[in-house]
Amino acid sequence: MRDFFHYAGNYFDVLDKAAEALTEELGLSLADRMGKPIAYFADTHQIGIAL
């Protein structure tokens, strides 16, 4: 698995674009880059995140 990520240059365009779209959809700013995504995943996907 390590080689897979290494040879992909640790970059996956589809994931990067999805993250950018979600950032825009949620209206994220640098100041609230954790609170809104945690709430989004809890509310939308019933996924809990512990820091």
From the centroid of its chain, how far is CA 3? 22
DSSP per-residue codes, 1-47? -HHHHHHTTT--HHHHHHHHHHHHHHT--GGGTTHHHHHHHHHHH--
Residue 39 lies in a domain: yes
Per-residue model confidence (pLDDT) at position 32: 79
pLDDT by position in tens, the chain (length 51): 778 877 778 888 898 899 889 888 888 887 777 888 899 999 999 999 988
Residue 25: give the domain boundaries: 2-45
Per-residue model confidence (pLDDT) at position 8: 78
Per-residue model confidence (pLDDT) at position 2: 76
Residue 51 lies in a domain: no
Tally of structural domains, the chain: 1
